[in-house]
């Protein structure tokens, strides 16, 4: 038996092969491998503010510029309350992320947390969910970028990109060129190095925050008190429905946890970055929502794809400000693509290092300290997906994949608290175990509110993932390899 708080043995200390469905990677091994890849190591260069900007960059964008216009007709003037409800749901999971990020500061995010607590199979399922969340959401967001780019071009130059080159096959076009271009531009910046990428991301995040602040100031001048009454014309249930939709707006706050091996002081800075980014994003969302429904009757949001730009033009009587907002939206959505691509590459880096993905994803370029081949492969795949494939319900499945991963993180906190009570934790979830349990329940509830077709797509995605694991990852897992070698050595020793 282990003494309380004693580290469990590493895989190399195991006397026989571990059950492939139950084998776990000890926390100490995860941390000791941090930063190490094939042929090089990731560089620790990110500060707390840069980590915060990565999370804000991955979160603040499409949700407030697009989803607000879809949720307001459902919740009415109470849409800002729906943002708070969605934010509280995210908060419970954010607290769990903060504790685990401070305890296990590695690149794999919830994938690595699951590996340390629930075993390799659950870790694979979690990582596969993250591939869906990050990879498909990049493509979906890139498509939205092209729409705002057309609005900006129309407002400034009076031209738009022809339908044939701004929509994929099946949606009236041949290729969505803007979506491909924004992904390739982000790839170029990501290949420059982590420190340079973080600077570019911080600039883009600053621009979109300033854009939303400008909207709040101008929109405030157009507020009419009568637009707030009645507060919930469609009932309290409608607020909950809108909150489920608006949860999409919070996807990405966990992006900082994917940078655990490139942070200067991960144990201290990761929890702070996660919580601070969620606080800033929630505050901006609520302020924008309050101003928006005050400046324009909630009924007028129906069918409005660019509600914020319309409000700016209505309040000022000048199309210039709507152009400013469109420009801000172009930068905002580009920064989401940039930050989410970064997170995707780091998750695949961790999975490849563990042998569950091809080693090419874990190869680090000596000059830039980044996973170069990984970045190119991911960006080309996401770019082509956005350019040629109508995403449809696959894009909606990003929410269910995210909620599933968030739920597992809440479970991981509980398991690690009981199995490793004496572990050094720089941040602890308050009101344990109630907080992670509530976080898990909220994630499960929001998953159940999603339509049946989304569950079918999710089930299909999971089936493909399990086939890949059982025919590739399970046999090539680094834990399986080490355990098998250990067993052979032990067997040879017994024969002697």
**355-404 residue pLDDT tens:** 899 999 988 888 888 889 999 999 999 898 888 877 665 666 777 888 88
> Which pair of structure tokens corresponds to residue 284?
């901006």
Q: What is the pLDDT confidence band of residue 492, given thresholds at 50, 70 and 90? A: low
Is residue 489 in some structural domain? Answer: no
| Number of domains making up the chain | 1
Closest CA to 388 of 171, 144, 188: 171
Q: Is residue 378 part of a domain?
A: yes
Mean per-residue pLDDT of the chain: 84
Give the lowest-confidence range in 30-34, 38-42, 193-197, 486-490: 486-490
Is residue 451 in some structural domain? yes
More confident residue, 385 or 5: 385
pLDDT for the residue numbered 392: 62
Q: Give Cβ neighbours of residue 150 (< 8 Å, ≥ 6 apart).
A: 160, 161, 166, 178
What is the reported pLDDT for 260?
Answer: 82
CA–CA separation, 60 vs 252, rounded Å? 8
At residue 29 the predicted structure's pLDDT band, cuts being 50, 70 and 90, is: confident
pLDDT above 60 (res 137): yes
**What integer pLDDT is reported at residue 490 of this predicted model?**
59
Higher model confidence: residue 95 or residue 16?
A: 95
Contact 102, 270 (CB under 8 A): yes
- pLDDT number for residue 33: 76
pLDDT digit string (tens) for 427-439?
999 889 999 999 9
pTM for this model (two decimals): 0.85
Cα–Cα dist 165/145, whole Å: 14
Q: Range of 285's domain?
A: 45-482
Residue 496 inside a domain? The answer is no
Distance from CA of residue 186 to its chain's centroid? 16
Interval 52-69 mean pLDDT: 83
Q: Flag whether 388 is in a domain.
A: yes
**What was the pLDDT predicted at 463?**
95
Domain membership of residue 142 (yes or no) is yes
Q: What is the pLDDT of residue 11?
A: 40
- The secondary structure of residue 366, as a DSSP letter, is T
Q: pLDDT at position 40, please?
A: 65
pLDDT in tens, 142-155: 877 877 788 788 88
- Domain assignment present for residue 90? The answer is yes
For residue 371, the number of C-alpha atoms closer than 13 Å in the C-beta half-sphere is 32
Q: Is residue 26 part of a domain?
A: no
The CATH number covering residue 77 comes to 1.20.1740.10
- Compute the average pLDDT of residues 102-115: 87
Q: Supply the pLDDT for residue 35.
A: 63
């Amino acid at each position: 038996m282990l003494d309380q708080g004693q580290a469990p043995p590493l895989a190399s200390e195991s006397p026989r092969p571990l059950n492939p469905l139950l084998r776990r990677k000890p926390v100490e091994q995860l941390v000791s491998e941090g930063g190490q890849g094939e042929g090089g190591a990731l560089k620790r260069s990110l500060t707390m503010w840069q980590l915060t900007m990565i999370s804000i960059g991955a979160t603040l964008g499409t949700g407030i510029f697009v989803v607000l216009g879809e949720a307001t007709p459902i919740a009415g003037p109470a849409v800002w309350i729906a943002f708070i409800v969605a934010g509280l749901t995210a908060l419970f999971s954010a607290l769990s992320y903060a504790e685990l990020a401070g305890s296990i500061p590695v690149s794999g995010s919830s994938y690595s947390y699951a590996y340390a607590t629930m075993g390799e199979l659950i870790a694979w399922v979690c990582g596969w969910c993250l591939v869906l969340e990050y990879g498909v959401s990049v493509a979906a967001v890139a498509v939205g970028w092209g729409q705002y780019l057309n609005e900006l071009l129309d407002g400034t130059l009076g031209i738009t990109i022809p339908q044939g080159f701004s929509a994929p096959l099946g949606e009236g076009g041949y290729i969505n060129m803007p979506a491909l271009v924004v992904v390739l531009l982000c790839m170029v910046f990501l290949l420059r190095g982590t420190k340079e990428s973080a600077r570019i991301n911080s600039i883009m995040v600053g621009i979109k925050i300033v854009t939303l602040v400008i909207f709040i100031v101008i929109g405030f001048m157009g507020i009419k008190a009568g637009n707030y009454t009645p507060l919930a014309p469609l009932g309290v249930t409608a607020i909950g429905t809108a909150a489920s939709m608006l949860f999409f707006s919070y996807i990405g706050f966990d992006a900082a946890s994917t940078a655990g091996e490139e942070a200067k002081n991960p144990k201290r800075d990761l929890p702070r970055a996660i919580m601070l980014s969620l606080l800033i994003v929630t505050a901006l969302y609520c302020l924008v929502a309050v101003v928006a429904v005050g400046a324009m009757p909630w009924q007028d949001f129906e069918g409005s794809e660019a509600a914020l730009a319309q409000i700016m033009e209505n309040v000022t009587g000048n199309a210039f400000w709507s152009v400013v907002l469109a420009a801000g939206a172009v930068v905002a959505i580009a920064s989401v693509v940039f930050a989410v691509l970064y997170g995707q590459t780091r998750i695949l880096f961790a999975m490849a290092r563990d042998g569950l993905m091809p080693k090419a994803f874990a190869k680090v370029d000596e000059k830039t300290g980044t996973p170069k081949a990984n970045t190119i492969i991911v960006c080309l795949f996401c770019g082509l997906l956005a350019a040629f494939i109508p995403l449809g319900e696959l894009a909606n499945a990003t929410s269910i994949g995210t909620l599933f991963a968030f739920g597992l993180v809440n479970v991981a906190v509980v398991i690690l608290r009981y199995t490793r009570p004496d572990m050094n934790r720089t941040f602890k979830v308050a009101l344990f175990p109630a907080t992670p349990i509530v976080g898990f329940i909220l994630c499960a509830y929001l998953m159940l509110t999603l339509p049946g077709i989304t569950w079918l797509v999710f089930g299909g995605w999971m089936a493909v993932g399990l086939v890949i694991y059982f025919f590739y990852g399970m046999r090539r897992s680094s834990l399986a390899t080490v355990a098998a070698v250990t067993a052979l050595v032990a067997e040879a020793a017994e024969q002697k």
